[in-house]
Structure 1
Amino acid sequence: MLTAWRKRREDVWSHFSYDNIATKTTCRECGLSFRGKNTTNLKRHLQNGHFAIFSELQKTIADGGQPATKKAKMSNQNIEDAFTSTTKYKSDAKEQQIKEEAIATWIGCTGLPVTTVEDEDFILMMESLDKKFTVPKKTKISNLIEKHYENKKATFKKRLSSARKVCIGTDLWTKKGLTASFLGISCCFFCVEQQKPEHLLLALEQLDHPHTAQSIKACVEKCMQEWGILNEKVLTVITDNGSNMVAAFKHSAPEDEDSSSDDPDASILSESDSKETENLQCQDMGMDRMPCVVHTLQLVVHMINKEESINRVLNKVRSIVKLFRKSSVATQKILDECGLTVVNDCPTRWSSTYEMVARLLKVKESVCEVANEMGWDCLLSSEWQKLKSMQELLQPFAEHTQTLQSDTMSMSLILPALFDLLSHLADVEQNTSRDVAALARKMEGNVNQRFAWVLDPSDDKFSPLVAAACFLNPTVCQTLLNVADDNIQELLKQAEGYVVRCSQTQENHSDLEELNGPEPAPPAAASSSSSASSSSRQPVFRFLSKFRTKPKPKSSKCSVRQQMSQYKEELSQSITCETGMEFWLGKCDTFDHSLKPLALDILAMPASQPFAERVISITGDLTRGKRNRAEFTLARSAFLKMNRSK
């Protein structure tokens, strides 16, 4: 046992001396001698006979001086803590493993180099947080990142395997300088396990030039095969309006010139061979494509640049914005005035023209004041008024763009958004100036033309999927049912027919599985005694079993028509749910056994593919310089970063 001896109080003993032979203590101030050397007696003597010295001694202690006995006591108490604080975690300790996995997840999601863990400042930081933690080497971190990636991938594969329907989203992006291109592939579905919609990044593949339809199609098919996604599960594929994307998902797309064979004899086919090849292509491309709604809306918005009088005002606005953004003096002045600055538009950024116009109108007074001080020309009163009309024209487009670019549950909002925009454009035609009204009229025609596949049931490319999503969302369908418009009622009729067909197909598939039962297991090696006993119990008549019909399964399930009628009746009543997803999740599985799964699958789908676009904007730093040459590391980092909260 360790014992700390009491140390002498130097501040007290500086006024006394001790004689070891006589065992007496003598005061140096007055010469008085007394037996022993107890510090308390010495202090009492100073207090009674030398009060000034005693007061100074007390003041020294109050200013921070501690008696030696207290220091010894504290050092004795901290011995155990000192030994414990320097003991490192064992390599298999839970605390060590948790911190190692956290570092691996952080580096894997951010795309930082694994050599970060060998940086001196990083090691010092971790030691200051926990002295017991040993920072692992880069090899171990690489292995932990790979393990985390594989675990995440296995989890998502399990969820995808139980999904009934999925929606594939794709987007192609090229780096500045055209040195590398990347294809982002995402998947949206209703997760049966978690009972909510999910949107996952499946892959980020580097694509070589040229970006032909065949190369895009092959990349998507490879990704689907890796994730075990069957074509029958794909409800639709959402892409932009690029010609290569459109051709990649056509049911019978002709081969590009780039991918044609150089052998002249290869193009000589008989008539039967040609038909057979065409049929194979149709079967191979058994996925429907849907254009990105937000991309298409932006094409309508860009019509403002084709109207001469409107474009003239916009060009003047752009020149003013350019002057401000190039002048640090003007920028500082407008910041001092209103705390905001002007913003420029960008052709590839959604709703950027509206944001430029709206910001300029918001800081109008400050812009005019600073422009006068700088000696710059500004807009006329009539031009400011026209700019105000343009803001009112573009505002609904910006609002619906924001709504429709959500990752999930936005397909059912396409029809209401389009009807709202058409109604808005019709109002603008009657309540604004002549040139803005003419622009609104052209935009209205352009909306009807570009979205004929959604709005016009008689169109050759009409798809009832969007109308079905709207029909299955009671929060919007309830209002449309009461609209006295023949086109809307025809769309709802087409949607109802589509839902019935899909539900019956799914129901027939389920009934077929019930009738056929599970696949027979391979015969196991059984003993002769067990086979003999089983044959003695039940004689086998192969002739009779040939003609024996399988009994129909008894079920109390309602038909699809009954489920549809019940749903329509509920639409005539007040709907308290905020979303269609919430409405169907609260339905009974027994009664709505066919309609509920289909509704959940369709309502989970997005209206556009900005999720695939955000892959590049979020992980764009990972592609700078030479870092994109590590293709697997880039794809892994993008996968972990986009799916980190799922």
Structure 2
Amino acid sequence: MLKAVSLLSDIQERAVSNEDATCEETEEIGEDVEMVGEDEGSQEEPILQLDSVSHGHVLRSVRCAAHTLQLAVDDSLKQASNIIAKARRVAKRLRSQNVVCVLKRMGHKRAIVDCATRWHSTHDMLQRLLELKTFCEDMAPTIPDLHLSESEWEYVSNTVDALKPAKIATKCLQSDQLTAGEFYGVWLKCSLDTEKLASPFARKVAQCIKARQSTLFDNDAFIAAVFLDPRYRLFLTECQTEKEKIHLYRTWEAIQNLEPRNAASGSDVCAAASPTQSQTSSDDEIEHLLMEKERDTSSTQRRPHVSIVSLLDTYSKEARLRRTEDLFQYWARYSVSNPDLYKLAMSVIPLPVTQVSVERAFSSLKFILSPLRSSLNEKVLEDILLVRLNKQYGL
């Protein structure tokens, strides 16, 4: 996906640059274009362009926040690979049949063996191993595979403590409705809680988190969504704020460019539905004048693009919203008093910051489309999946 988006971005950037160059060449040759005959001009092939490119907009990708956090933790775990390998060897020995019988007789829980590609299971394995530390130390003279030095036990304990904030953050990132501002708060809390720990491994985890966060925060779409969240807006620097105002201004231009088309399509539908009425309206000079006045009035009543900049300036000076307040209820108050700013916010804030919803859909699909039910048609399968994924709405 990342490679596909990168290739599309390069293609669109070249198309935008070629379009600008073509416009400049057209202005230079000016009168020469008029000298071209109809036959000669008809031989030119039409150029197919994406609609977004024609307005100067280029496709950009937003990294999955949950996956980025997993990559940061994986980077840090590479520094502890030797200790984790020794801990895994001890856990496997504790899972042997004779040791399991002894653990069960003494009332201890069974050891956990992790999956190397899932660091959550590694955290659970190390945490369970700490619970069995006394048992391992008592049985080490009899079973040498259960021996770990005191420094190794301390490292295991520091690893568990350092990974705990990241594990809590991962659980929070799995929520159904997660905005960019809420994610920013979760990421910031994870980073602060990890930095509070004094162990060398915790410092390494914090460094990896900061190194990976640039792929998330250096994105105009993400920063714009945080800017329009009054709960976390103050974390942005002045430079970021001014940059995002420009980005939001361009976003508003893109929204405005779509509106005339919708109006034109609606008028075409009305004309097709009642051709007699459109014909009589065009013949009536008074009706024609009234239609022109109506268009002039609607264009003057429409808020100009510059007003969005002033509205964003006014919004940036408002008081901070408490973290416990609902973001969408806050913006619902603007739907009547300031519909333009509300429309812009509702176009930017719903930015998806994780792919958890997609994974949840795939997980549900796995239980529905089993080998025993492979004859389900597309419509029935889609209806069942819709009901399964929207139980909270009472469907």
Structure 2 length normalisation: TM-score?
Answer: 0.69
Does the 8 A contact of 1:448 with 1:455 survive in 2? no
Which residue, 584, 587, 594 being the options, matches 2:331?
Answer: 584
CA 1:614–1:546: 2 relative to 1, 3 Å: closer
Matched, 1:252 2:8: yes
Does the 8 A contact of 1:397 with 1:421 survive in 2? yes
Higher RCO (C-alpha under 8 Å, 6+ residues apart)? 2
**Relative to total residues, which structure has the larger helix share, 1 or 2?**
2
Q: CA deviation at 1:600?
A: 3.6
1:490 partner amino acid: C
What residue in structure 2 maps to residue 432 of structure 1? 199
Does the 8 A contact of 2:63 with 2:216 survive in 1? no
CA 1:524–1:614: 2 relative to 1, 3 Å: closer
Provide the rounded CA distance (Å) in 2 between the counterparts of 1:424 and 1:274.
Answer: 61
Q: CA deviation at 1:608?
A: 1.1
Which residue, 378, 391, 394 being the options, matches 2:160?
Answer: 391
Does the 8 A contact of 1:337 with 1:366 survive in 2? no
Task: Tell me whether 400-409 or 383-392 shows the greater mean CA deviation.
Answer: 400-409
2:157 partner amino acid: K
Which residue, 224, 229, 251 being the options, matches 1:468?
Answer: 224
Q: CA deviation at 1:592?
A: 2.7
Q: CA deviation at 1:386?
A: 0.8
Q: CA deviation at 1:385?
A: 0.9
Higher-Rg structure is 1
**Relative to total residues, which structure has the larger strand share, 1 or 2?**
1
What residue in structure 1 maps to residue 216 of structure 2? 454
Spell out the pairing of 1:357-506 with structure 2 (5 A cutoff): 357-366=126-135, 368-369=137-138, 376-421=145-190, 423=192, 431-433=198-200, 436=201, 439-440=204-205, 444=207, 446-456=208-218, 463-478=219-234, 480=235, 488-506=237-255
What residue in structure 2 maps to residue 560 of structure 1? 308
Structure 1 unaligned residues grouped into runs of 5+: 1-244, 256-272, 457-462, 482-487
Q: CA deviation at 1:398?
A: 1.5
Does the 8 A contact of 2:62 with 2:222 survive in 1? no
> What SS is found at the alignment partner of 1:594?
helix
What residue in structure 2 maps to residue 551 of structure 1? 296
Matched, 1:617 2:342: no
What residue in structure 2 maps to residue 197 of structure 1? none
Matched, 1:299 2:71: yes
Q: CA deviation at 1:427?
A: 5.3
1:611 partner amino acid: S
- The C-alpha deviation readout for 1:62-102, integer Å capped at 9, x for no partner, is xxxxxxxxxxxxxxxxxxxxxxxxxxxxxxxxxxxxxxxxx
RMSD between aligned alpha carbons?
A: 4.6
Provide the rounded CA distance (Å) in 1 between the counterparts of 2:180 and 2:136.
Answer: 41
Provide the rounded CA distance (Å) in 1 between the counterparts of 2:266 and 2:361.
Answer: 43
Which residue, 113, 121, 129 being the options, matches 1:352?
Answer: 121
Provide the rounded CA distance (Å) in 1 between the counterparts of 2:388 and 2:375.
Answer: 19
Provide the rounded CA distance (Å) in 1 between the counterparts of 2:216 and 2:64.
Answer: 12
- The C-alpha deviation readout for 1:189-242, integer Å capped at 9, x for no partner, is xxxxxxxxxxxxxxxxxxxxxxxxxxxxxxxxxxxxxxxxxxxxxxxxxxxxxx
Provide the rounded CA distance (Å) in 2 between the counterparts of 1:392 and 1:620.
Answer: 35
- The C-alpha deviation readout for 1:24-54, integer Å capped at 9, x for no partner, is xxxxxxxxxxxxxxxxxxxxxxxxxxxxxxx
Matched, 1:323 2:93: yes
Does the 8 A contact of 1:405 with 1:607 survive in 2? no
2:342 partner amino acid: K
- Count the aligned residue pairs: 353
1:313 partner amino acid: I
Provide the rounded CA distance (Å) in 2 between the counterparts of 1:412 and 1:369.
Answer: 50
Q: CA deviation at 1:367?
A: 5.1
Provide the rounded CA distance (Å) in 1 between the counterparts of 2:263 and 2:52.
Answer: 30
Which residue, 587, 591, 597 being the options, matches 2:343?
Answer: 597
- The C-alpha deviation readout for 1:169-203, integer Å capped at 9, x for no partner, is xxxxxxxxxxxxxxxxxxxxxxxxxxxxxxxxxxx
2:93 partner amino acid: L
Q: CA deviation at 1:593?
A: 0.9
Structure 1 length normalisation: TM-score?
Answer: 0.45
Q: CA deviation at 1:391?
A: 1.9
